[in-house]
Amino acid sequence: MRQYEEAIAVMQQAITLRPGSSALYYNVGVLSQSAGRSREARASLEQALKLADTDPVFATPADREEFRQRVRGALRSA
């Protein structure tokens, strides 16, 4: 459990450097799920979904949609 908490802390630090990164929020969401922090997981995953619309990391609309599907799947599990 401690490793999840440490990983979450690292990801949250990264978010301060790249607050528009949908992938970082997704990672925090998945890690939070694994750590049993459902409320935080859901909030992070919802933010990842919101940011996916404007995150320039996606090369194509298909990449963006694939990411959205992955986030939605994680939200169903949260």
Q: Which domains does the chain have, with CATH numbers?
A: 2-77 (1.25.40.10)
Residue range 26-63, pLDDT digits in tens:
999 999 999 999 999 999 999 999 999 999 999 999 99
Reported as a pLDDT band with limits 50, 70 and 90, residue 76 is very high
For residue 69, how many other CB atoms are within 10 A of its CB? 10
Cβ(21)–Cβ(51) below 8 Å: yes
* Residue from 60, 35, 65, 33 nearest 49 by CA: 65
In the structure, what pLDDT confidence band is assigned to residue 78 with cuts at 50, 70 and 90? Answer: confident
Distance from C-alpha of 40 to C-alpha of 31, rounded to nearest angstrom: 10
Q: Are 35 and 1 in contact (CB under 8 A)?
A: yes
